[in-house]
Amino acid sequence: MPKAWPVPRKGKRKRFVSVPSHASSKGISLLFLLRDVLKLAKTRKEVRYMTLNGQVKVNGRERKDEDFPVQVLDVVNLEKAKLNYRLEIVNKKFSLKEISAKDAEKKIVKISGKKILAKNVIQMNLDDGQNFVSKDKFSVGDSALLNTKTNKIEKILPLKEGANVEIVMGKHAGEKGKLVAFEELIRGRNYKIKLEKREVSLPFKTILVIE
């Protein structure tokens, strides 16, 4: 069980949750959220009933697999209960924050790649696996403000000096700060982030532009 998951590390009864290894550091399974965090179900069978009957959406899309990994800033929609939650990091632990239906239509996601399909036709690859053909100017590392209701990119949030960022991995996970400089390395670069009480240098994969 990853340390970021909000569960006691010791106890008489233990839960085991299957989740892809590549997603465990960035997210948490629907099963765990619905059963162990929100306590809307007591067993995997009950959670499976909820997902198979279309009661659970992630970012506006129905998810039938109870092991689907919900990532940081994803929105869990429970239409039957009229509840919406965004997955955040609080004190280095994943936490669900209840939000309004209007806020649930927005999601910030990192741009992880780009591909030229044809002349003046560029595909934007997002960190959550989605792809969009976009006419907007963007770079890998920028963030996209996605409207999950219309499934359209509303705004590009560039990774540049002065950008507000959130740290999504590592010992500073959940902290927010401002990008103040780039630190060039032999291979790649680090990003100097000014936090509330200090300045840290972090790798690309740990930061997300939020404004």
Confidence class for position 51, pLDDT limits 50, 70, 90: very high
CATH fold of 164-209 = SH3 type barrels. (2.30.30)
Tell me which fold the domain 27-101 belongs to.
Answer: 3.10.290
pLDDT of residue 189: 85
Query: What CATH architecture is 106-157?
Result: Beta Barrel (2.40)
pLDDT tens track for 191-208: 899 998 889 999 988 899
Confidence band of 7 (pLDDT split at 50, 70, 90) = low
Structure-token pair, residue 91: 């004190």
How many beta carbons lie within 10 A of that of residue 87, not counting itself?
20
Cα 148 to Cα 1, 35, 76, 121: the distances in Å are 30, 25, 12, 23
Q: Model confidence over 179-195: pLDDT tens digits? A: 999 888 877 788 899 99
Pairwise pLDDT comparison (134 vs 43), residue with the higher score: 43
- The pLDDT tens digits for 103-155 are 999 999 999 999 888 777 889 999 988 899 888 889 999 999 999 999 899 99
Where in the chain are all domains bearing CATH 2.30.30?
A: 164-209
Q: Which tokens is 147 given? A: 């409207």
Q: pTM of the predicted model, to two decimals?
A: 0.82
